[in-house]
Amino acid sequence: MRRTGLATTALLMDRVPAFSQSVPAKALTLDPNTLAKFVDPLPIPPIVRPDRYQPSPADPGVKIPYFRQAMRPFEMKVHRDLKPTRMWGFSSGFPGPTFDVRSGQEIMVEWVNELPDKHFLPVDHNLGGAGAHQPEVRAVVHLHGGKVAPESDGYPEDWIVPGKSALYHYPNKQDAAMLWYHDHAMGINRLNIYAGLMGAYLLRDDVEDSLQLPNGKYEIPLVISDRFFTPEGQLFYPVSGNANAPWVPEVFGDAILVNGKIFPYLDVAARKHRFRVLNASNARFYHLSFANGASFTQIGTDQGLLPAPIPLKALMIAPGERVDLVIDFSSHRGEEMILKNDAFVIMQFRVSGDKVNDTSSLPAALRPVPKISEAQAVKTRLLSLDEYVNRVAEPVLMLLNGTYWHQPITETPVLNTTEIWTLINPTDDSHPIHLHLVRFQILDRRRFETSAYMGRRELKFTGEPVPPDASEAGWKDTARAEPGMVTRIIVHFEGYAGRYVWHCHILEHEDNEMMRPYEVLAKP
């Protein structure tokens, strides 16, 4: 039990209104709409270079690239007219530098904690793993979407303190995709990522190369995240009214940053560009579109290329998700195009008036994504997503299947078998559910009667199963479990046996128990 007077089953009926959230007092934060728009060029994080080559842990006869990445405090300008913002980041950057690596080429990364001993964001010592007896500053790096052995996966309790480092091995034996690395420290993950501890990881392969997609300077990562800032330009992380329990259920910052800038602009040639989009926000979902209604094309999901390009006018992206887009600016010569999140401006593209010869292509067939058949599943798990409130209806806790992090492991798939995970969401929130180690497919979503479920744990469907959106119908590692719906995913557990985690990627939820260990068993 984390909070006073909390009775798990008794409070199950007390549901939480969607995204109920204590909003910070307006006076404490900067109104981003007072800032000049499109005065800063979009920064492109540098590509990391190996520091040296050293023997592979898998085969000491082979030398593999070794990278050293330090987490450090630093200051950066998030907008021309703001003073530098104190942040924490990898190699003093936010986002951190981009890894650009090839499938089949294993690498090692030494993640070094060079952070100070005191946190600058409000640690809540009531949260699991963040007790007052724990070191205040802890960090552990997870490669989101990576098929990695458990000892290199960044288990939330494998954190290191300032002055220490951890050497991780990334085999990169998986299809081309945009992965990302970020902190995963138990109970303070939301604060560490908000502080800036994340970066992109591009994995490439021959199939992708053969497609001749836009590349080089025409391929650009767009890392989207939201923050609050004080009028002095410092990060502001909202707190509850209770000084002893500052955790808030979600943070929706009013300033949207792309690659670490507020309202950036990007000069583009009038041709096709490829954008690798990541939602690295703590809790915000984005509904992306162009203000002028321009269409664009999605070519990939979290875990790589789609079977075929999908033309879109708008796109939903949840925290933790990635989308791979191709935008053709050739019919927009000389235009200024605004990318927005519904009513909110995100950034501007300034299309050159010059005609260019575009040698890149956008093939009609990308990469086959064979459907995993339901008949292949050896087990179906029913897993509920639960939110709990206190006597004054404030959310205080989120659980997966009514179970706390520290309780015994309940999800134990066997290596090289397939399972269906049925995510039952009786809450009013959409929860982006992420599994480490694996890639999966979304089977369907189906509406059910939430009151019958919450009262008697009785599952009564009220609608027909709905297939995933076209833009989700590829390989995923994070999927939205929509409110009032049962979302079914099918997962083949392969790669490694051992202990991993699955969790909601709303970081405030994850830090307050909406995360569970799971274990891939080597044998039944």
Contact call for residue 184 and ligand C2O (CB under 6 A): yes
Residue 431 interacting entry, from Cu ion, ligand C2O, none, C-beta within 5 to 8 Å by type: Cu ion
Name every residue whose Cβ is closer than 8 Å to that of residue 422 and which is 6 or more positions away in sequence. Answer: 380, 381, 382, 383, 486, 487, 488
Q: How many CB atoms lie within 10 A of CB 293?
A: 8
When CB distances to ligand C2O are compared, the closest residue is 144
Contact call for residue 283 and Cu ion (CB under 5 A): no
Residue 15 interacting entry, from ligand C2O, Cu ion, none, C-beta within 5 to 8 Å by type: none
Place of tokens 């767009």: 222
**Residue 209 structure tokens:** 């190369």
Near ligand C2O by CB under 6 A: residue from 439, 503, 509, 516 = 503
Residues 401-440 that bind Cu ion (CB under 5 A): 431, 436
Residues 352 and 133: their CA atoms lie apart, in Å, by 57
Contact call for residue 434 and ligand C2O (CB under 6 A): yes
Q: Which is nearer to ligand C2O, 142 or 340 (CB)?
A: 142
Q: To the nearest whole angstrom, how small is the minimum distance from the Cβ of residue 199 to Cu ion?
A: 14
Q: Which is nearer to ligand C2O, 284 or 505 (CB)?
A: 505
Q: What torsion, rounded to 10 degrees, do the Cα atoms 258, 262, 267, 273 define?
A: 20
Contact pattern for ligand C2O over residues 292 through 331, marking x by CB under 6 A = ----------------------------x-----------
Q: Which is nearer to Cu ion, 223 or 506 (CB)?
A: 506
Residue 227 interacting entry, from Cu ion, ligand C2O, none, C-beta within 5 to 8 Å by type: none
Q: To the nearest whole angstrom, how small is the minimum distance from the Cβ of residue 261 to Cu ion?
A: 26
Residues 136 and 119: their CA atoms lie apart, in Å, by 6
Contact indicator for 200, 45 with CB cutoff of 8 Å: yes
Contact pattern for Cu ion over residues 130 through 169, marking x by CB under 5 A = --------------x-------------------------
Near ligand C2O by CB under 6 A: residue from 15, 72, 119, 142 = 142
Contact call for residue 272 and ligand C2O (CB under 6 A): no
Q: Which is nearer to ligand C2O, 300 or 426 (CB)?
A: 300
Contact call for residue 182 and ligand C2O (CB under 6 A): yes
Residues 266 and 169: their CA atoms lie apart, in Å, by 35
Contact call for residue 509 and Cu ion (CB under 5 A): yes
Residue 503 interacting entry, from ligand C2O, Cu ion, none, C-beta within 5 to 8 Å by type: ligand C2O
The H helix count followed by the E strand count for the chain is 4, 32
Residues 34 and 233: their CA atoms lie apart, in Å, by 13
Contact call for residue 436 and ligand C2O (CB under 6 A): yes
Say if residue 159 is exposed, middle or buried (CB neighbours under 10 Å; 0-12, 13-18, 19+): buried
Q: Which is nearer to ligand C2O, 280 or 396 (CB)?
A: 280
Backbone angles phi, psi at 216, to 5 degrees: 60, -130
Residues 413 and 419: their CA atoms lie apart, in Å, by 7
**Residue 71 structure tokens:** 């987490």
Q: What torsion, rounded to 10 degrees, do the Cα atoms 289, 290, 293, 299 define?
A: -60
Q: To the nearest whole angstrom, how small is the minimum distance from the Cβ of residue 96 to ligand C2O?
A: 14
**Could you tell me which stretch among 4-12, 80-88, 207-215, 504-512 binds Cu ion (CB under 5 A)?**
504-512
Contact call for residue 276 and ligand C2O (CB under 6 A): no
Say if residue 524 is exposed, middle or buried (CB neighbours under 10 Å; 0-12, 13-18, 19+): exposed
**Residue 187 structure tokens:** 């109970």
Reply yes or no: is the peptide bond before residue 60 cis, omega within 30 of 0: no
Contact call for residue 504 and Cu ion (CB under 5 A): yes
Contact call for residue 431 and ligand C2O (CB under 6 A): no
CA angle (284, 71, 192) in 5-degree steps: 30
Contact call for residue 271 and ligand C2O (CB under 6 A): no
**Residue 108, H or E segment:** strand 107-113
Q: Which is nearer to ligand C2O, 271 or 436 (CB)?
A: 436
Contact call for residue 506 and Cu ion (CB under 5 A): yes
Residues 34-73 that bind ligand C2O (CB under 6 A): none
**Residue 439 structure tokens:** 């890639």
**Could you tell me which stretch among 225-233, 267-275, 306-314, 501-509 binds ligand C2O (CB under 6 A)?**
501-509
DSSP string, 409-463: P---PBTTEEEEEEEEE-SSS-EEEEESS--EEEEEEEEB-HHHHHHH----B-S
Q: Which is nearer to Cu ion, 154 or 214 (CB)?
A: 154
**Residue 149 structure tokens:** 């052995």
Classify 32 as helix, strand or coil: helix
Q: Which is nearer to ligand C2O, 140 or 397 (CB)?
A: 140
Q: To the nearest whole angstrom, how small is the minimum distance from the Cβ of residue 517 to ligand C2O?
A: 11
As a whole number of Å, the CA-based R_g of the chain is 22
Contact call for residue 284 and ligand C2O (CB under 6 A): no
Q: Which residues form the interface with Cu ion (CB under 5 A)?
A: 144, 431, 436, 504, 506, 509
Q: Which residues form the interface with ligand C2O (CB under 6 A)?
A: 142, 144, 182, 184, 320, 434, 436, 501, 503, 505
